[in-house]
Amino acid sequence: MHSRLTGVLSPVVTPFKPDLSPDPEKLVRQCRWLLANHVGLAVFGTNSEANSLSTEEKIDLLDYLMSEAVPPERMMPGTGCSALTDSVRLTAHAVKLGCAGVLMLPPFYYKGVSDEGLFRNFAEVIERVGDSRLRIYLYNIPPVSQVAITLPLVEQLLKSYPEIVAGVKDSSGDWENTKAYIDNFGAQGFDVFPGSESFLLQGLRYGGAGCISATANVNPAAIAHVFANWQAADADRQQLQLNKVRSIFAKYPMIPALKAAIAHYGDDTSWMTVRPPLVELTHDQQSALVSELNGAGFTMPGLEESTAAA
């Protein structure tokens, strides 16, 4: 049995080849760089363009990561799909490979669905996977999925599957909502990860488990430093630095901006590529982003060596 996931995780951005197929070698290098910077791997998150990948593509990528000895005990792949059967297949595969947890979106096509329908979805996945090693982190991101993980739903799931339902990633952007998960379920060992490092320090002080954040793709060491030193005297100052970097990225469409930064600081323009329906940053946008990041003293130490390591 692995120990629980905790700390800072990154929804690892997915590199694409010119034909828009995923580039597994570059993904491995990015994962290694993140691990070296003390950040865990929430591959196939929203920022991974996971919902622009087929289930087969995700399974192939997971298998490749394993073949390259990326440690499954540091991984929380996203396995919640629109179709129940896809969620079951991907979740079962992740558990079989020994992933420490899975991050599970609710089915996100149908809107206005009931908590009972969502409960049945998660329960079907749990029953069909049928593996006591499964640890599910519910993924609440109503601004994108438009389907929320409500408190009554969590309560019902914890009642039925107390060992399996391990926590939540809250990307509501609403601290009151994050706080409510902790207030209601934290004492039962339910781990609450804010979906942004903006709430990292606040979350840790309140009993949160860390964070799973887009910008951990580009600023991993600094975010992991706040996690490791949250009780230090200068923690608030460090948190302000994190916020400053995040606010620069937040001026752009997030996923293309993350990739533009990796392309620049890793000296590899192929990282600019996104899959439709996303559109990469223009050269001017990338220049403006980099200029502002440089102005803030931002760096990505070790990235260039990492991306050149092929």
* Structural tokens at position 273: 């590529």
Q: Which residue has the tokens 């089915």?
A: 107
Exactly one of 12, 53, 168, 216 binds a copy of itself (CB under 8 A); that residue is 53
Binding-site member from 66, 278, 288, 290 for a copy of itself (CB under 8 A): 278
Half-sphere exposure of 243 (CA within 13 A, CB side): 11
CB of 189 to a copy of itself, least distance (A): 26
- Which residues on adjacent β-strands are paired with residue 212? 9
Q: Which 63-92 residues touch a copy of itself, going by CB under 8 A? A: 82-86, 89
Is 251 a residue that touches a copy of itself (CB under 8 A)? no
**Cβ-Cβ contacts under 8 Å for 95 (sequence gap 6 or more):** 102, 129, 131, 133, 134
C-beta of 303: minimal distance to a copy of itself in Å?
A: 26
Reduce the DSSP state of residue 137 to 3 states and report it: strand
* CA angle at 1 for the pair 26 and 151, rounded to the nearest 5°: 85
CB of 125 to a copy of itself, least distance (A): 9
- The Cβ of residue 155 has, within 10 Å, a number of other Cβ atoms equal to 14
Q: Beta partners for 9? A: 40, 212
- Residue 277, interface with a copy of itself (CB under 8 A)? yes
Please choose, out of 47-55, 60-68, 131-139, 199-207, the segment that lies near a copy of itself by the rule CB under 8 A.
Answer: 47-55
Does 54 bind a copy of itself (CB under 8 A)? Our answer is yes
Min dist. Cβ of residue 284 to a copy of itself (A)? 15
Q: Which residues bind a copy of itself (CB under 8 A)?
A: 20, 46, 51-57, 82-86, 89, 106-111, 113-114, 116-118, 120-121, 124, 143-147, 275-279
